[in-house]
Chains A and B, each alone.
Chain A
């Protein structure tokens, strides 16, 4: 494509035709503030924070939004004139006039983009006093809460839900000053098609979308001497928690996490990676069974609870395709309250079992009625997101990066490289194929990495050869991509044996529970960290994990045994409201 030459703040810059002024400015390190812009989404143009001065004919100037304004040959722009600063300041003052004046008590204090802009633009007073919009908050869902009074209507939640996830749970409602972002019919989120993936929360620049917090519940359990507290940590946490302590994205803190959890007072620190290894065994054998019996294909993974809820509402016709294996969280959870409790001689009703997850929908998953022991106890009692986990550590003055490295507790804390791969897109399938490959083609030698499954492409499809047999596989992450794949399958345009779907872009490392900001660059850095963790492991296949072997030997028998079915498998249901 042709290059266009223009002048920004007196600096000559050359960018490809079709670039925006914002991209051109960023390419030479000129900062322009934005609130509604996001590279992953279509252009908003709503907040007007990014206005810059553009020279027009005959000495005239215009203010144009840099985020949407295309560059032209010979264009002259200035990004920080007195008029521009005054416009931005006025816009901030206008936002504040309709925003709660409660910074100190706000959950996003210190992490709020509006607050940062107030500091950058030296906002010294609440200039305009007048009517403020009043809306009720929505705390109906298990995972995320909505607070429209804080909303600045940047629309990023609407766009990510519509464009990336294609769930379309939210839209603007009313117009003008009464505009508000809501689910259809002003209904609560729990009554909407929302799948609780939490991608909207990641996009929200203020505190309009929040975690449903379980911190106080966890604190109560930790304080109670009669309660035995166990915890498990999802693979993606170790690659992202450092960001909450100022470390660069992709810093692995695998050893620090158990150390920190013990300091918080947990009695046992387990690893979701272990449950992931178990999931590989069960789901891998489901695949083997289906290959033997001829279907139904594709077998679709079930470890992402946002995806599962999406499937139940939008594509329930795929229920027979779903793997019945529970997610690693639930497997680790139920084995804690059964196998571990039995071994350690602890009454499972005394156990408070916590999961630290990169995921919002995991909070919904633990409340599903199927995810209970026979006696009605929940398999997992509470989920903390990565952010909540960091908040809890801060509250206890535990500085994660300075802690010594420690190991997870055996044996539910012992895992292979396969388990940690669950944290990234394509990882679950890769982990499964390591084991399935070994069963189908014992002579073929150990195959560990499948390049077709790696990388950040939204839909990764291809064929792999195991022995002499070719298998069609596909990986999709982000529900918009999942839709594409499912539609193609439904319409007979594509056929696969095995399909991995993760609700969130990038997989769990890009989950709705992850640190802010989470963008595509950061997602890639976290993915690399997970790959590194896998490579560093002595054992990289689930079936070679000694803990896994011991559990089957001592407790479950074999994969897909009756007991394994009873404890490690689940079912799915048609769920309303149906999505279109």
Chain B
């Protein structure tokens, strides 16, 4: 059958024969590997996998067609992906798509005939801070405009390929490597491969196995060095390597700094630290310099020389790059000043690839104490008393979940870290994993010990390659430091952590679907009860917690439950991280105590609406959440209050909309997302959200009827009450909350056939006003040539032919095109 095919299966056969475990739950990883090798999944490859793994082809095909990541056809040479996230939607991603469609001549999902381009619309890439975002051949570009699309794509169209290797220049100098595994003297019990189980308290708390003045000095120096407090450095440069700053051009900065420092002969006196996301994405690329304090914003390659010469060498900060005259350092800036950065405390302050920098800030000390001095039940008790609730969105008490898993009699248990952050508009988990992976690992190890699991998984989106990379590094390091693997820190407790890359399905954030996916199946939601804590992965008790939940755990153990409860509300103690994006001046990563108001977050931290706009609503919880109108923004934010308002906390995506956002089409946007991501199992979700979407589409086209609102409400109710999993049950929230607060906008569409925000195309008309100067620019840009005119007379739009693309409105230099 395969005689005529061109697919060479030999390499795949080799890879599979070297695979250590070909159990069925590795199917997705095997398919990912095969796709890496061939660029897509040829049928022959799937047949070979079926034969070798003994998995029926029908099942493999079912899995392949379920996940967005898998392709059955080769892709173009260049892949252009447009983010379909909420922030990008709010900031005009539709227009970017239109531009790409006209430039490339293909629709999303298609490949050009010459095989050079594939255009895709993809789920949120987590670059919400710089929306609208586009990914070209794997590189993220932010703040996209039509002009920028042409600038990026047109050279490729003409066959001008970027020279290889740009942005990947090798760094010249490797900083002196000092680690906590280094030995102070011959008496130290640390040895290569067998780290001393007491090294944490020895080096961090000065509880050595032997007393020696010299060794004590050595330890102090080591700590100072790794805490960036060593006096021998004149300065530390903290380069933000978060996704947003990278997309803004931070990639090249390190190299440039090294060049400049070397020019000034300062290379040995300055340490450069590449950090995770520092939070203030809007102002990226961000560079902070300590102790010569400065917070530099929007640093461009050409600014580097000046920073080094003026500031580092000359001691005089570069004023024009500072946040503002009054806000010279992080602590001055309202964005930071009004936050309570606990979980984020390491973000921007350490290199996430360096375990020693994490340890230097008392990392893994909580684990040491827990695993050596506390019984699992005591740990669960501490977590229960802290009142920590699941940060993934549901808000289930973490202690209670652990206790259930703990009491299960099955000797085999699993722990899963849910890092399948699929909500469009959310990038907290990505940032944490990229910027402080050890904190998450530490929380996981403590949790696994508490419930009695010896195997844990991190289910992370494949769309987050940097997070995966940093996790891999972190797991490898933790193993070398005796923090993972056998006999962790001399406690006799064993744990292994495996990374599993999700293959692109939002529903897999739901725990039963996540477990199905982990088992190598289609990510279809299962029935609850039984809950995963009783019957989870492989039928064994399985505890699933979110990234941020785990990241809170070491803090609670280190500082105690009372400390944790010292902020937040009675029912929702602690802090919560939000990713703030949309129509707000300062987008970024924000951590605040539960119970602060939405207004505090949006105005005091986010700086309110960008110039000229007026904030209309805040959307929380992504497609499962709702819109909170500006009038209610003084409500304290916690799990319960948001629920009362008809939204949910969700994982922490917070997208701000202003008066240019049409609320009906906003609801339609979320429904179309849910429709696309529904697993298709249960009827209310699969069929119901489809009909809701169709009704909303009709309304935005001006074809709505009043009775549609009753139908919508009934469908919302039935879908909420009867859907199988959280995705379905919460999918009506965007519609219900907007119907609740913005019914007048629905009515304007239905009764007056008018879109108050001027967004719904079918309800808009364009005409040219009398102040037209007959420049002809509109006619030149009209894609359907429906504008005519001549010099001296105003141009006219042929209303029957107009497709309402708005191009004329955009290009007119005299504001002579009116949109009504």
Let me know if B678 and A175 touch, CB within 8 A.
yes
Let me know if B58 and A170 touch, CB within 8 A.
yes
Let me know if A177 and B58 touch, CB within 8 A.
no
Q: Residue among A62, A131, A168, A184 with the most chain B CB within 10 A?
A: A184
Smallest distance from the beta carbon of A540 to chain B beta carbons, Å? 43
Among residues 266 to 311 in chain B, which have CB atoms less than 8 Å away from a CB atom of chain A?
none
B337 at the A/B interface (Cβ < 8 Å)? no
Among residues 91 to 121 in chain A, which have CB atoms less than 8 Å away from a CB atom of chain B?
91, 94-95, 97-98
A512 at the A/B interface (Cβ < 8 Å)? no
Smallest distance from the beta carbon of B151 to chain A beta carbons, Å? 36
Contact of A48 with B58 at beta-carbon distance under 8 Å, contacts A91-B718, A175-B505, A176-B678 already known:
no
The 8 Å CB contact of B675, one of A48, A173, A177, A193, is: A177
Let me know if B684 and A48 touch, CB within 8 A.
yes
Let me know if A185 and B691 touch, CB within 8 A.
no
Smallest distance from the beta carbon of B759 to chain A beta carbons, Å? 23
B723 at the A/B interface (Cβ < 8 Å)? yes
B-binding segment of A82-90, A291-299, A364-372 = A82-90
Total number of A-B contacts with CB less than 8 angstroms? 145
Contacts of B522 in A (CB 8 A): 171-172, 175
Contacts of A176 in B (CB 8 A): 675-680, 686
Contact of A177 with B678 at beta-carbon distance under 8 Å, contacts A63-B721, A90-B714, A580-B56 already known:
yes
Q: Name the CB-closest residue of A to B685.
A: A176
B690 at the A/B interface (Cβ < 8 Å)? yes
- Mark A160-192 against chain B: 1 for CB-CB distance below 8 A, else 0: 000000001111111111110011110000001
Q: Name the CB-closest residue of A to B50.
A: A580
Let me know if A91 and B684 touch, CB within 8 A.
yes
Interface size class of B (residues with CB under 8 A): 35 or more
Q: Name the CB-closest residue of B to A83.
A: B721
CA of A8 to CA of B676 in the docked complex: distance in angstroms? 38
B55 at the A/B interface (Cβ < 8 Å)? yes
B-binding segment of A64-72, A340-348, A387-395, A474-482 = A64-72
B757 at the A/B interface (Cβ < 8 Å)? no
Q: Residue among B711, B718, B723 with the most chain A CB within 10 A?
A: B718
Let me know if B675 and A90 touch, CB within 8 A.
no
B312 at the A/B interface (Cβ < 8 Å)? no
A229 at the A/B interface (Cβ < 8 Å)? no
CA of A381 to CA of B680 in the docked complex: distance in angstroms? 42
B54 at the A/B interface (Cβ < 8 Å)? yes
The 8 Å CB contact of B682, one of A47, A90, A171, A182, is: A47
The prevalent SS among residues of A at the interface is: loop
Contacts of A130 in B (CB 8 A): 690-691, 694
B146 at the A/B interface (Cβ < 8 Å)? no
Let me know if B680 and A48 touch, CB within 8 A.
no
CA of A183 to CA of B59 in the docked complex: distance in angstroms? 9
Let me know if A168 and B722 touch, CB within 8 A.
no
Contact of A175 with B684 at beta-carbon distance under 8 Å, contacts A45-B724, A48-B724, A577-B57 already known:
no
Among residues 559 to 580 in chain A, which have CB atoms less than 8 Å away from a CB atom of chain B?
576-580
Interface size class of A (residues with CB under 8 A): 35 or more
Contacts of A86 in B (CB 8 A): 714, 718
A-binding segment of B60-68, B131-139, B356-364 = B60-68
B715 at the A/B interface (Cβ < 8 Å)? yes
Contacts of A175 in B (CB 8 A): 65-66, 505, 522, 677-680
Q: Name the CB-closest residue of B to A43.
A: B527
B683 at the A/B interface (Cβ < 8 Å)? yes
Let me know if A168 and B58 touch, CB within 8 A.
yes
Contacts of A131 in B (CB 8 A): 690, 694
Q: Name the CB-closest residue of A to B505.
A: A175
The 8 Å CB contact of A174, one of B43, B57, B65, B530, is: B65
CA of A97 to CA of B693 in the docked complex: distance in angstroms? 14
CA of A538 to CA of B679 in the docked complex: distance in angstroms? 60
Contacts of B801 in A (CB 8 A): none
CA of A130 to CA of B687 in the docked complex: distance in angstroms? 10
Let me know if B680 and A172 touch, CB within 8 A.
yes
Q: Name the CB-closest residue of A to B57.
A: A184
CA of A155 to CA of B683 in the docked complex: distance in angstroms? 12
Q: Name the CB-closest residue of B to A179.
A: B680
A51 at the A/B interface (Cβ < 8 Å)? yes
Smallest distance from the beta carbon of B291 to chain A beta carbons, Å? 54
The 8 Å CB contact of A46, one of B59, B682, B690, is: B682
Q: Name the CB-closest residue of A to B62.
A: A171
Contacts of B686 in A (CB 8 A): 153, 176-177, 179
CA of A119 to CA of B708 in the docked complex: distance in angstroms? 25
CA of A91 to CA of B722 in the docked complex: distance in angstroms? 9
- Mark A116-134 against chain B: 1 for CB-CB distance below 8 A, else 0: 0000000000011011000
Let me know if B690 and A177 touch, CB within 8 A.
yes
B25 at the A/B interface (Cβ < 8 Å)? no
Contacts of B688 in A (CB 8 A): 90, 94
Smallest distance from the beta carbon of B623 to chain A beta carbons, Å? 13
Contact of A65 with B527 at beta-carbon distance under 8 Å, contacts A91-B722, A172-B522, A173-B62 already known:
yes
Smallest distance from the beta carbon of A268 to chain B beta carbons, Å? 43
CA of A193 to CA of B60 in the docked complex: distance in angstroms? 14
Smallest distance from the beta carbon of B64 to chain A beta carbons, Å? 9
Contacts of B723 in A (CB 8 A): 48
Q: Residue among A47, A69, A580 with the most chain B CB within 10 A?
A: A580
Contacts of B722 in A (CB 8 A): 48, 51, 63, 87, 91
Contacts of A185 in B (CB 8 A): 43, 46, 57, 61
CA of A442 to CA of B57 in the docked complex: distance in angstroms? 52
B51 at the A/B interface (Cβ < 8 Å)? yes
Let me know if A46 and B714 touch, CB within 8 A.
no
Q: Residue among B505, B687, B721 with the most chain A CB within 10 A?
A: B687
Smallest distance from the beta carbon of A399 to chain B beta carbons, Å? 39
Contacts of A184 in B (CB 8 A): 46, 56-58, 60-61
Q: Name the CB-closest residue of B to A65.
A: B527
Contact of A171 with B527 at beta-carbon distance under 8 Å, contacts A176-B678, A177-B686 already known:
no
The 8 Å CB contact of B681, one of A46, A68, A94, is: A46
Let me know if A171 and B684 touch, CB within 8 A.
no
B529 at the A/B interface (Cβ < 8 Å)? yes
Contacts of A152 in B (CB 8 A): 683
CA of A45 to CA of B721 in the docked complex: distance in angstroms? 14
CA of A174 to CA of B65 in the docked complex: distance in angstroms? 5
Let me know if B527 and A68 touch, CB within 8 A.
yes
CA of A63 to CA of B683 in the docked complex: distance in angstroms? 15
CA of A47 to CA of B690 in the docked complex: distance in angstroms? 16
B1 at the A/B interface (Cβ < 8 Å)? yes
Q: Name the CB-closest residue of B to A69.
A: B529
Let me know if A173 and B721 touch, CB within 8 A.
no
Among residues 707 to 725 in chain B, which have CB atoms less than 8 Å away from a CB atom of chain A?
711, 714-715, 718, 721-724
Contacts of B57 in A (CB 8 A): 184-185, 193, 577, 580
The 8 Å CB contact of A183, one of B50, B58, B694, B718, is: B58
Q: Residue among B527, B676, B677 with the most chain A CB within 10 A?
A: B527
Let me know if A168 and B56 touch, CB within 8 A.
yes
CA of A65 to CA of B51 in the docked complex: distance in angstroms? 38
Contact of A45 with B56 at beta-carbon distance under 8 Å, contacts A130-B691, A173-B62 already known:
no
Smallest distance from the beta carbon of B507 to chain A beta carbons, Å? 8
Name A residues whose Cβ lies closer than 8 Å to a Cβ of B: 43, 45-48, 51, 62-63, 65, 68-70, 83, 86-87, 90-91, 94-95, 97-98, 127-128, 130-131, 152-153, 155, 168-179, 182-185, 192-193, 576-580
Name B residues whose Cβ lies closer than 8 Å to a Cβ of A: 1, 43, 46, 50-51, 54-62, 65-66, 505, 522, 524, 526-527, 529-530, 675-684, 686-688, 690-691, 694, 711, 714-715, 718, 721-724
Sort A-B residue pairs by CB-CB distance and give the 6 closest, nearest first.
Answer: A179-B680, A171-B62, A168-B56, A184-B57, A94-B687, A68-B527
Q: Given A152-B683, A175-B678, A176-B677, 15 other A-B contacts at CB below 8 A?
A: A46-B724, A48-B684, A51-B722, A63-B722, A90-B715, A90-B718, A91-B684, A98-B687, A169-B58, A173-B62, A179-B686, A184-B61, A185-B43, A192-B58, A579-B56
In the complex, 8 of the A-B residue pairs with CB atoms within 8 angstroms, ordered by the A residue number, are A48-B684, A51-B722, A168-B56, A171-B522, A175-B522, A176-B678, A184-B61, A577-B57
